[in-house]
Structure 1
């Protein structure tokens, strides 16, 4: 009985141990599966996060643009380094790493190197110039000019404003608009308060108030637009009429028409010139900050008998504003045959005598009041105004007050 009992008990013990071992093994397998699943989830999460980081890195790529005429890329930013590439003004570079006073960049061709921070502009500056280009894409050209030296285009008038594109000496540009800002003065210079100009003041005299300087909004041959200091450009004007400027600055010179003169006596590069151009010019004093663009308009025509330039039309002491428009037009107010013929004409605007004083905006651009439009046709060597008959002429504003002459005094002087 005892042996049988013990044998049964041993069998039960073995069975119990077997059951427990199976339970432990199953539990171990479940824990292993859970552990493996956790590791797999962690690995997936790590891959996902690294992918997001890579995506975020691509999204946050920074760009800079070369502002210097030409810049060198080096393999390291140090006193001794190796040249790895060259970039030019306007080139777009991807920022790889930022250092102290230098950036590690990548060019569009894949060249990687270090460049000085002072030789590049950020994306915000580039966006300003893009917007400036869009805003003034359709602005009329008021004159043309060339750069007197290597010069930068600025995003607004002023020497301390952001600059980007660079023009080389001799580069051509189109002038779009003029602005005047205060000229920087040395520290400690007393600031003069602005004052209204006195009646009858000389237009060549410096404007009242703080010293000013003129800036021009220009568009280069590539379409880049920006502001440039007026003393760094030379307005395009032919030498044949520049000699007649009489001490004034030529603001603009425009081709009106050409006449044929086989006996002109003019030579260009050793070849005789038979097609002689005739010009409309606008002039003004050599002063900055004036409330008008020009104070004189003059037309030069060619005398076919004397083979020389002569003045066909001249109006002085006016407050004129650009642009001057050159075209061909008929005169509907003339009932004869010549009125029906399209002839060279020019149109300009001057300030009316009863207009309020021009206002200078925050950006330095002058906004005039009421303007009078004048149009003239060139009929032979005579400039005739296109205006309806019996229309009294409107009084125009004068920079220098004109003194009316007394007819009685004039008669006495003649006697």
Structure 2
């Protein structure tokens, strides 16, 4: 008898799971989860209970919109609300994947660390999703730098707005124009000395145009140990250069550093260091000074072997044995790469060559179309997911929970 009941219950569940999904809300669009773990809330209120989760890059169906909040459905059939700022469009996902592929080959500008948990964002913006978190004390590579506005950048809507209905107004009856007014009398002529009469004895007022500076943030492009790349606030990271060299920063921010060689002082081995620094933040360039430190065998401390100040420099700084090169603005604002050679502990200029800005290449023309076609492919949930979703909807309908 127990086996018979079990068979009946199993067949009923299979029948429920195989039923058409006509009771499910139709999808109005497709998006992808931005954060590492996205909580799907029961209500719009972010303090409401979580009814499901989605992981970074997971495909979600958009089924309802209220202002900037969307009700989404994941592959398991779980439905919940989330903020549109935590969702990625098809183009943003493809751009992020393409961006990560290029960032893997970018030269490191030094290792950095943080004293607190650090969120890595998809874009240099506080409003972009954070898909990876770096733990305190964990090291990562610094690749680039950018000063970006603090306000949220414009982005493509997740769901295209519906076209406004066209209302045809009935033609208005032609109005009969009123009769023309009588001609105005001729104005009297001004006096011959009207220019002298218009002069004033008061001092001219100085007009000052006061423009409020747009709030900006300094962002650094970083790459984690497992190869994931994204943007972090520069003020939250610290370059992991040894303290016996970092003490000579003189209040400047160290933006990059590189080991150039070694000096043997008895049983100790001291490295030769190259670093770049910047005095003021929120600049369109990456550094304004570079400096080489060598270990003094006579004084047993680090000393400056070469320094160049008041430059406008850009990443990447390249270590090219037996020396290095930096990209700076030359005469006329033209960028050039200055090459230096390191002979022992002596630094000598070794020439100049053209320098191109480090940029992220644009996506191929067919990349968006490929991912859009992939996003349109229906993902049929498994039997377990259909049964679970059906039971959840029945429980909510019968018990209102």
Cα distance change on mapping 1:103 and 1:278 into 2, 3 Å: same
CA offsets per residue over residues 74-115 of structure 1, 9 Å max, x none? 9x779999999876x5263665987986545346xxxx6555
Cα distance change on mapping 1:65 and 1:182 into 2, 3 Å: closer
Cα distance change on mapping 1:106 and 1:246 into 2, 3 Å: same
Give the Å deviation of 1:122: 4.3
Cα distance change on mapping 1:180 and 1:192 into 2, 3 Å: farther
Q: Please give the alpha-carbon distance, in whole angstroms, between the structure 2 residues aligned to 1:317 and 1:120.
A: 42
Match of 1:127 in 2: 94
Q: Please give the alpha-carbon distance, in whole angstroms, between the structure 2 residues aligned to 1:378 and 1:184.
A: 45
Give the Å deviation of 1:128: 3.4
Asked if 1:383 is matched to 2:351, the reply is no
CA contact (8 A) 1:155 1:163 kept: yes
Q: Please give the alpha-carbon distance, in whole angstroms, between the structure 2 residues aligned to 1:133 and 1:285.
A: 30
Q: Please give the alpha-carbon distance, in whole angstroms, between the structure 1 residues aligned to 2:291 and 2:261.
A: 15
CA contact (8 A) 2:28 2:61 kept: no
CA contact (8 A) 2:28 2:64 kept: no
Q: Please give the alpha-carbon distance, in whole angstroms, between the structure 2 residues aligned to 1:210 and 1:60.
A: 37
CA contact (8 A) 1:375 1:386 kept: yes
Aligned partner (choices 229, 236, 239) of residue 233 of structure 2: 229
Q: TM-score, normalised on structure 2? A: 0.55
SS at match of 1:132: helix
Q: TM-score, normalised on structure 1? A: 0.53
Match of 1:163 in 2: 129
5+ residue gaps in structure 1?
Answer: 1-49, 186-190, 195-208, 264-273, 329-343, 356-369, 389-415
Cα distance change on mapping 1:53 and 1:211 into 2, 3 Å: closer
| Aligned residue-pair number | 271
Whose radius of gyration is greater, 1 or 2? 1
Match of 1:310 in 2: 303
Cα distance change on mapping 1:130 and 1:147 into 2, 3 Å: farther
CA contact (8 A) 1:147 1:234 kept: yes
Give the Å deviation of 1:250: 0.7
SS at match of 1:318: coil
CA-based RMSD: 4.2
Q: Please give the alpha-carbon distance, in whole angstroms, between the structure 2 residues aligned to 1:120 and 1:183.
A: 17
Match of 2:216 in 1: 212
Aligned partner (choices 352, 355, 365) of residue 330 of structure 2: 352
Asked if 1:142 is matched to 2:109, the reply is yes
CA contact (8 A) 1:143 1:235 kept: yes
CA contact (8 A) 1:173 1:218 kept: yes
Q: Please give the alpha-carbon distance, in whole angstroms, between the structure 1 residues aligned to 2:82 and 2:255.
A: 38
